[in-house]
Homo-oligomer: A and B are copies of this chain.
Amino acid sequence: MRASVFVGTSLDGFIARRNGDFDFLPEGGGEPHGYDEFMASVDVLVIGRNTFEKVLTFEEWPYADKRVVVLSSRAIDASNVRGAAIEHMSGSPAVITDRLAASGASHAYVDGGITVQRFLRARLIQRLIVTRVPVLIGEGIPLFGSLPHDVRLRHIHTKTYPSGLVKSEYEVLG
């Protein structure tokens, strides 16, 4: 099983403001920059509790009927989500990855600040797709965090969009 990250950040590297808002990102995800195509390529989403609880406040569940795994050491309440396949798992990224592979998953979309950082630290992300929004917000929740050692990347390609989005895709070499 492989795992990818597809995320938008401010130019200074934040995925959200301190309070979890991402009003600095273009509304509705901005001009199309490959999110739908990426979503179509994954068979499971892996998100943390914070992202899950944020998404619950949206008017609509944004993941349609895609399989979603919520990571949390505590129980989660998914009773308000109808029509979606939500599972709860806990454990290390290695344990989660093994369980997903055993369940037949072939491509996971790992999302959310803490979750992305945990999987990157465990070297269990193979692909990073980062879209930079042309704004500096000064502080917030960073995409990247501390690492036990450098992580080398291979640049695959970069695409720019008229609204100023710059999307770069990297293979994680480890």
Which A residues are within 8 Å of any B CB, using their own CB?
A: 11-13, 24, 120, 128, 130, 132, 134-139, 143-155, 157-158, 160, 164-166, 168, 170
Contact = CB atoms under 8 A, between A and B. Distances in A.
Given A13-B13, A135-B150, A139-B146, 20 more contacts: A12-B13, A12-B143, A24-B150, A132-B168, A134-B155, A134-B170, A136-B147, A136-B150, A136-B151, A137-B147, A138-B144, A138-B145, A138-B149, A138-B151, A139-B147, A155-B166, A157-B160, A158-B158, A158-B166, A166-B168
A74 to B, nearest CB: 28
Nearest to A149: B138
Nearest to A157: B160
Contacts of A137: 147, 150
19 contacts: A11-B144, A12-B143, A13-B13, A135-B152, A135-B153, A137-B147, A137-B150, A138-B146, A138-B147, A138-B148, A138-B149, A139-B147, A153-B164, A155-B160, A155-B164, A155-B165, A155-B166, A158-B158, A166-B166
A12 to B, nearest CB: 4
Nearest to A9: B13
A158 B155 contact: no
A11 B136 contact: no
A15 to B, nearest CB: 12
B164 A11 contact: no
Among A134, A137, A151, residue most surrounded by chain B Cβ atoms (within 10 Å): A134
Contacts of A151: 135-136, 138
Contacts of A139: 146-147
A152 B134 CA distance: 6
